[in-house]
Amino acid sequence: MEINIILADDHHVIREGLRLLLDREKDLFVLAEADTGRAALSAVKRFKPDLVIMDVSMPDLNGMEATRKILSEAPDTKVMALSMYSDKRFVEGMFQAGVSGYILKNCIARELVAAIRLVAKGQVYISPEIAGTIVDGFLSRFVPENDTNRRINRKTLTDREREILQLISEGKNTKEVAEKLHVSSKTVDAHRRNIMEKIGVHSIAELTKFAIREGITTL
């Protein structure tokens, strides 16, 4: 079974290392590389791969939002997260977005190759180091939530609002966000006001802190 792959990571050295590793396997073929989530989405539309190896934290469009868009556009494509982050918010965020696997970048080569083959076959792979995080997240769903511990999180925002929030928190102004998303500046301003109202903040600095805390962007 041949497995066609797209590598999405904003670090060139990581992509280069992954390509060299996967090129040694007779059944694994790297079709393209992408350094942003948006570039990964474009590559999926063009090449229609079996699998995308997706970094969680990328500029322009993070791995969570990119995964949602990819699976919406190409539901037959599998996505596997490859990340340095084992934090609950990143792991849960990627699985909520629809990934079929989550593996840490400190894994050994044979674990990565085995995970790729399992995910391509329709199975789920989780690094042993984060298995506890998944279980804790599952069990927490059965804990009653009250007004004192309920808080706004990324799930409260729409896909478009999360996308705009990431761009704003990365330092892009209204005009730049509008040009990137092919919408008007008025639309971006309206979304920004809605985001601020939803999460209860009043400045770009507070927006950025929220985005970092929720794993929408990183420092």
Residue among 157, 149, 113 at smallest CA distance from 25: 113
In the chain, what are the domain boundaries?
A: 3-139, 154-213
Question: What pLDDT, on the 0 to 100 scale, is given for residue 8?
Answer: 97
Question: What pLDDT, on the 0 to 100 scale, is given for residue 135?
Answer: 55
CB 39 within 8 A of CB 70: no
Question: What pLDDT, on the 0 to 100 scale, is given for residue 134?
Answer: 60
Domain 154-213: assigned CATH number: 1.10.10.10
Domain 3-139: homologous superfamily in CATH = Response regulator (3.40.50.2300)
CB 50 within 8 A of CB 6: no
Question: What pLDDT, on the 0 to 100 scale, is given for residue 53?
Answer: 98
Question: What pLDDT, on the 0 to 100 scale, is given for residue 149?
Answer: 38
Distance between CA 101 and CA 124 in Å, rounded?
Answer: 5
What are the 10-residue block averages of pLDDT along the chain, 219 residues in total? 96 95 96 96 96 93 94 96 88 91 92 96 89 57 44 69 88 89 90 88 85 77
Q: Does the CA dihedral 207-210-214-217 come out positive or negative?
A: positive
Question: What pLDDT, on the 0 to 100 scale, is given for residue 128?
Answer: 83
* CB-count exposure of residue 184 (10 Å: 0-12, 13-18, 19+): exposed
Residue among 82, 76, 63 at smallest CA distance from 130: 82
DSSP H stretches of helix in the chain? 12-22, 37-47, 63-73, 88-97, 109-120, 131-140, 159-169, 174-181, 185-199, 204-213
Question: What pLDDT, on the 0 to 100 scale, is given for residue 153?
Answer: 53
Distance between CA 216 and CA 183 in Å, rounded?
Answer: 21
